[in-house]
Chains A and B, each alone.
Chain A
Amino acid sequence: MTKEISPKDRTLGEALRSQGISRRSFLKFCAATASMMALPPTMIPTIANALEKAKKPSVIWLSFQECTGCTESLTRAHSATVENLIFDSISLDYHHTLQAASGHAAEAAREAAMEENKGKYLLVVDGSIPLGNPGYSTIAGISNLDMLTDTAKGAAAIISVGSCAAFGGIPNAKPNPTGAVAVSDIIKDKDIINVPGCPPIPVVITGVLTHFLTFGTLPELDHLGRPMAFYGQSIHDRCYRRPFYDKGLFAETFDDEGARLGWCLYKLGCKGPSTYNACATTKWNGGVSFPIEAGHPCIGCSEPHFWDGGGFYRALSMPTEDISKTAVYAAAGAAAGAAAVGMMNRFKKNKTSESHEKATIDDLKK
């Protein structure tokens, strides 16, 4: 006879079963999760055991200067997919778009969750934080900066979802009128996991949550704070069009012969070689495709300052500034400079020949 457990104290395994999800379904879910997190199949029992016993962590989701694309990516209407299941396994105590409450009730819910789970809740942030004027972005009259620093105090860890929270994103692009910065530019004393992308691939977001649930620790991170499991490889190194790059077969326009044959998109501005993400392997929309496969060059959306990388359709080998203009101005200036130098040289030459004293027989006798 199974005993009754209060919903709050239920482990994840118990919570799922109480929703009518069989253990077999749970094992299928763990297998898919292991595959998605690029863990070897031998780890499936470990994941199953860990998730079975995991308690539902409280998650507070703060949305700042963002377009809500990251939430959209995460909550795309796939019913009972891996992503939704993960979502069900967390206690999402605060989220602007998804919560039913509003106004004071919503803020009260946030504060209650923070107090109850002090030191243990996960803080998820999407959107950048404006440092220019706090009035640029406020929630319930509280500036983003204040809300972030306040909520971060009791968080176990922070996940910056999307390129805006991770690196500043589009608000941070030149000329950055709001003084937008990333979460990591403000919070220095907490573990931060960056999950960039514009938006990030949904399974990457849930993969990080799953890792936290399974192992209770942060996944291995690269030098930009991104989980190595998903951002450890560049698009270029996993791109199925790589053989064309290696041979030098490029599409010149979006619908020429090369494009139709699926040739490399380097000349159309592909940033694959300098971009790290899981698009080429995990792909999008449940593994259907990714931009390069659809014929569009990678825009490098999981890298910092990708908006200022010179333009999506300028190849990596092309400079980001107008060099021909620079060269012409330099040449014009130099021409003037050369004329001036030439005149000075002539002047010196003439002066030298004028002051030249012819040697006389007396000089020789000396």
Chain B
Amino acid sequence: MSSDGEVLLAAENVKKYFPVRRGVVVQREVARVHAVDDVSFEIRRGETLGLVGESGCGKSTLGRCVVRLHDLTGGRIVFEGRDISRLSRRELRPLRRELQIVFQDPYASLNPRKRVGQIVGAPLRIHGLGDRGEIKRRVQELLEQVGLSPEHYNRFPHEFSGGQRQRIGVARALALSPKLIVADEPVSALDVSIQAQVLNLLEDLQEGFGLTYLFVAHDLGVVRQVSDRIAVMYLGKIVEVSPAEELYTRPIHPYTEALLSAVPIPDPVETVSRKRIVLTGDVPSAIEPPSGCRFHPRCRYATEICSTVEPPLVSYGGGHLAACHHPLNVESDTRTPGS
């Protein structure tokens, strides 16, 4: 774990609200979706921060905010000590070489009319890195690095399977030798055997090039496999941050506990013996999130305070933070105010 490494990127009180508009001619803003609501975290150089949560919790929005594919409603993104959250498009351009993203859907994220060489070479051309011959050589080298063959240069995306397409997406993200890659559900569209291939590839690349990842996913098994630290999101908030293994052995937030217990285990005996916490109800709307702790309507430990006072993210030592009035697996005297 590279927990003593320097901070590469910090998100400070990041907010992203999407307006809900009504009206045909005059579009009035009638409500706001609180997709990401006051979230702070740090990513250190060379580490993988996993970001997990269920659909609609804001994890992808947060990932996109980090690489400035979304403008922020509030808060700051600090990359290598520099606030990048208010930079203009032009000012952002050089930064795009440092921050790249791999998208979830390998079918939708590659232009079907372009050849692989054009797709992977596009970032190099845009940034004017080399002449045609140099770019071609670099692209072929990238294809090899992601486990494809240089002969694939002139093929079209439809000639590839899902796993291979995701490799093309990874090659494109790698083209500019970025420092940070946001991987937004990079394997969720793939079959399990292919998932393992792509996860292993991402780990090899990290080792080889010293990459830093923000790994966004909903699959707790996948996140555990790749992450050094993990942040759990629920309804626009980070509810727990922990060193990876500790999250699974000692969850502090009741939502994390329920999430872990809901993952099906491929072992018939164990699946019967383990205790499964079935949460009642659905995730509430992010337009009018519940008062106090956002998880309280579904939480089995909730008391009165949970519906009135929003719990802050508190440190429990060893880099383990959680936002809960009734933390699990802790002795109350280990609590210290959050950093």
Answer yes or no: are A and B bound together in one complex: no
